[in-house]
Amino acid sequence: MKIDSWLKNNTFHHGEFWDLKELIKEKEKKGLKVSVCIPTLNEEKTIGKEIVILRSELMDRYPLIDELAVIDSGSTDDTLKVAGSFGADTYLSSEILPKTGFKKGKGENLWKAVHQLDGDIICYVDADIKNIHPRFVYGLVAPLIHRDEVHYVKAFYDRPLAFSSGIRPSGGGRVTEILVRPLFSLFFPELTALIQPLSGEYAVRRTVLEKIPFPIGYGVETSHILDVYKDWGLDAFAQTDLDQRVHRNQTTLALGKMSFGILQSFLNRVEAYGMIDKMPELATIYRQFQAQENRYEQVTFEILEEERPPMIENEDYRKKFGIK
């Protein structure tokens, strides 16, 4: 197992890439185009600040980003209006590749972005980051610009949780530590080198994104990591320490639903890879309980981890990018 050498050679700190002029010079030398995608659903409170900072610092001041886009699942607030007013390209996911239909979920937005955006590198950034900073982009795209053998760069960070009384100095990454890291330890030990595999910030080469399927729901990050690892190996990954990310806290009940979707995707993958015998048909109903005084009521949610096929199989995509 080569975890130690990988950690030494493929783990970075965003401070290593402070010289944006040199980074841009290398990007232009290699003829690369960088697109940033922010997937959204009702994020009017934070999206404006993200657009202002990323656009002013990484487009106007330092031309690292060529395309800054919001792809929205159908917000009922002013997310798109706010994003557009501050200079982002805005798209409704339902209007991209309309022949494929529309499925609600973050993974759907990420998949549609592969078709809609033009970059050789696509950097995904979540929309709820309260301490947004240019490092959330340059820290992730820099390893891809500098090292041709790196294809997929994940963020990791301290994840303090924001509360009304202030910020608690530790916490976060609960689904990673309770579910994903134990699964990786059992089935894919090398992948435990990824400190935060479920982080919502990562940058990937188009040539990789177009070849892998996209679960539309909670399992998209886990499935991506497994598929990239299977086809390109651990050396295709890198990770960058972004110091700290302040974001919304999820309830334990919400994390349960997330875990249920991730587990579906994981089990489907290990079966497809031939690592376990044929699985029984998996249930898609997740059951939780809520109590009202002395009454206990079961609440059910249908969580079906549907997947979009690799984008390169889409005829419209192949035509747009001249793929025969």
Q: Are 226 and 269 in contact (CB under 8 A)?
A: yes
Q: List the CATH code of the domain at 3-320.
A: 3.90.550.10
Q: Which of 107, 106, 132, 124 is nearest to 45 (CA)?
A: 132
pLDDT of residue 1: 56
**pLDDT tens-digit series, residues 159-193:** 554 444 454 443 447 899 999 999 999 999 999 99
Q: What residues are paired with 238 via a beta bridge?
A: 153
Across the range 146-153, mean pLDDT stands at 98
The amino acid sitting at 295 is: R
Out of 51-65, 114-128, 144-158, 287-301, pick the least confident: 287-301
pLDDT tier at 10, thresholds 50, 70, 90: very high
Q: Cα torsion for 209, 79, 104, 53, to the nearest 10°? A: 20
Q: What residues are paired with 156 via a beta bridge?
A: 241
Domain boundary assignment for the chain? 3-320
Q: Are 272 and 262 in contact (CB under 8 A)?
A: no
pLDDT of residue 224: 97
Q: Are 244 and 131 in contact (CB under 8 A)?
A: yes
Residue 289, Cβ density class (10 Å: 0-12 exposed, 13-18 middle, ≥19 buried): exposed
